Amino acid sequence: MEPNYDESKVPVYTLPPVWPEGMTPERWRDEFRPRLLRQFAELLYGEIPPPPEETRPELRAERAGALNGLAVRREFRLHFRNGTATAELDVLLYLPTRRPGRVPAFCGLNFYGNHSVTPEADVFPSSGIGPEGPIRQDQVGAYCHRLPLTEILTRGFAAATAFYGQLCPDQPGAVETGIHRLFPGCARPATALAAWAWGLLRIRELLARQPELDPAQIGVFGHSRLGKAALWAGVNDERFARVISNDSGEGGAALTRRCFGESVAAITSRFPHWFTPRFAEFAGRENELPVDQHQLLALVAPRPLHVASAAEDLWADPRGEFLAWREALPVWRALGIPVPEPGDELPPNGGIPGYCACHRRPGVHDLLPEDWACYLDWAAAFSPVTGGR
């Protein structure tokens, strides 16, 4: 079926609530929030498996004076063991050389290998399956724009990344060959998004143990399918201090019920391994889905959330991402955190800054230095507050 790009063909819909009538902060936290998490696990993402019995971090290389002196570079290999099964994840970490104290950090997965997001040719290259098949080891720095290390480090943040394909190959039918192998007794179906989110949780734990980092200031980010993974990780582990969704679109930050751009039918037929089979059942019956994505965004509360879109990325439904963000805001408000009261449209400059921020930059589907400029300003300005208790 042709994707709908016509605003006048968006069906009339009713969104399920983020803060039902009569809700209290206590009941939201203790009952409503866990129920929503369970529904999202069942209907979309699958449960994130538990931590393995053993995680052993091996420091494979450390280099002071990286990035022209701006950073200390560490390359870890996480060795996971559960029962007799093992798996590995290679994490590339840059710490700012100048540190006024314990510094904040961002972590996120990459699509094309650790070597693709750094200009430094002497990092350990990743290998495995990426979005278009096996990744190429000669692509050193080819995706540097998605992780502008100089800007991030100069602003005093650390950055950590790992190759998503090492956690779970992005191929239908191959999901059980990823980290899900470690958990044969665990709730099924196993999904790729749950495997990628699991990896983000393990990276957060590694970062929390670095003495140079502030464990209470570790944020998670992701672009596109990895933005979906970042959201799923961020709502499951509340120790992530902040959550960034960059162009995460369908099954990410965009409202499913709008049926604009990528549809349930399209995403679940091209990428059946990302979600549980339940999601596909709602193709053409989006209104009957018990959840919608504003509720997922609301699960980030009371922590800071940033949702970003690109104006030409109609496949990801930028307006649907803005509306999901706007419809999630009542939760922050109810938890006593001041957030904007946006109208029906984003302002002409495309952004609403604040503790819960939203921006839409011109251009196409990508994670760009100009997105990072917004994220860095936002992260520098807002630390998580503990609301709602």
Q: What amino acid positions are annotated as catalytic residues? A: 224, 365
Residues 86/79, Cβ–Cβ less than 8 Å:
yes
> Contact between 82 and ligand GTR (CB under 6 A)?
no
Footprint of ligand GTR on 300-339 (CB under 6 A): none
How big is the CA angle at 307 (ends 119 and 170), to the nearest 5 degrees? Answer: 60
Footprint of ligand GTR on 350-379 (CB under 6 A): none
Give the C-alpha separation, 370 to 375, whole Å. Answer: 9
> Contact between 146 and ligand GTR (CB under 6 A)?
no
Q: How many CB atoms lie within 10 A of CB 84?
A: 6
> Contact between 108 and ligand GTR (CB under 6 A)?
no
| Residue placing its CB nearer to ligand GTR in the complex, 136 or 365 | 365
Least distance from C-beta 376 to ligand GTR, angstroms? 23
Total of residues contacting ligand GTR (CB under 6 A)? 6
> Contact between 267 and ligand GTR (CB under 6 A)?
yes
> Contact between 256 and ligand GTR (CB under 6 A)?
no
| Residue placing its CB nearer to ligand GTR in the complex, 90 or 247 | 247
Least distance from C-beta 233 to ligand GTR, angstroms? 15
| Residue placing its CB nearer to ligand GTR in the complex, 267 or 379 | 267
> Among 262, 313, 317, 327, which residue interacts with ligand GTR (rule: CB under 6 A)?
262
Give the C-alpha separation, 186 to 317, whole Å. Answer: 34
Give the C-alpha separation, 368 to 366, whole Å. Answer: 6
| Residue placing its CB nearer to ligand GTR in the complex, 262 or 321 | 262
> Among 225, 303, 359, 361, which residue interacts with ligand GTR (rule: CB under 6 A)?
225
Q: Is 336 left (phi over 0), alpha (psi -120 to 50) or beta?
A: left
> Contact between 255 and ligand GTR (CB under 6 A)?
no
Give the C-alpha separation, 200 to 107, whole Å. Answer: 7
> Contact between 224 and ligand GTR (CB under 6 A)?
yes
Interface contacts to ligand GTR, rule CB under 6 A: 224-225, 249-250, 262, 267
